[in-house]
Structure 1
């Protein structure tokens, strides 16, 4: 039986993952310069990827929109850098294995056998993010 993904545990495939509600196809490119997955009207300067299923699931669950949560297997087409929004500033050594790039990221597959967080965990995360935003802390990806 599949269970909720473990925090900081790299996905068994070692692949890069991207969580979203967007309906994408193999071969599609994710590129910066489009509307953010997390804030209407905000343009994202980067594409974000991770090697942990937990981070990808959070990305899908917290993404804007009414679509189905999806986890895509992706191949970055350029250099990656640590995502400063969730890595070294908050978790030294980048245990989240989360990265960002200004280059395209190609969809090469989709993971379908995963379990999301409980409704309680999801609400607690949303409440925490809302509290940080009320206090003026930028927690939304650029």
Structure 2
């Protein structure tokens, strides 16, 4: 199934810029081209938390994690997006795990416009997703699952 503005893609590779070169956003939200992602909305990952930023990336790997780990029902989705304002490095990955921002992950306090949706993308293996969920649950239990927003 192809959506307007859709781009087809392959399995995610860490730190590899998506073939389109576009900014991407992974979520479970059902959105359409022209919709805006806005700060001040509920978190994709932490129920009950309101986010001050919108997060984007240039890698399919990071976008796939966003789509696969987002809370809620329905399939993970990856959107091609266009930030409308300034971006800054995402400190949740740049400062915590990957100095130099090789994940090409960013955040903004400005709206981000949906341009299209990636279709037929292949995500991480089920065992990778479970290992990531287990690791995140362990951080949560230890009180270390902090999102700097």
Q: TM-score range by the shorter chain?
A: over 0.9
Q: List aligned pairs for 1:28-107, cutoff 5 A.
A: 28-107=35-114
For 1:141 and 1:23, the matched residues in 2 are separated by: 26
2:109 aligned with 1:111? no
- Using the size of structure 2 for normalisation, the TM-score is 0.90
* CA displacement at 1:140 relative to structure 2: 3.9
For 2:56 and 2:131, the matched residues in 1 are separated by: 23
> Which sections of structure 1, spanning at least 5 residues, go unmatched?
none
1:40-69: CA deviations, max 9, x gaps?
110011000000000000000000111111
> Which sections of structure 2, spanning at least 5 residues, go unmatched?
1-8
Runs of 4+ in 1 over 6 A off after TM superposition: none
Q: Output the aligned Cα RMSD.
A: 1.3
Contact residue 129 and residue 139 of structure 1 kept, 8 A: no
SS in 2 for 1:109: strand
Contact residue 11 and residue 53 of structure 1 kept, 8 A: yes
* CA displacement at 1:113 relative to structure 2: 2.5
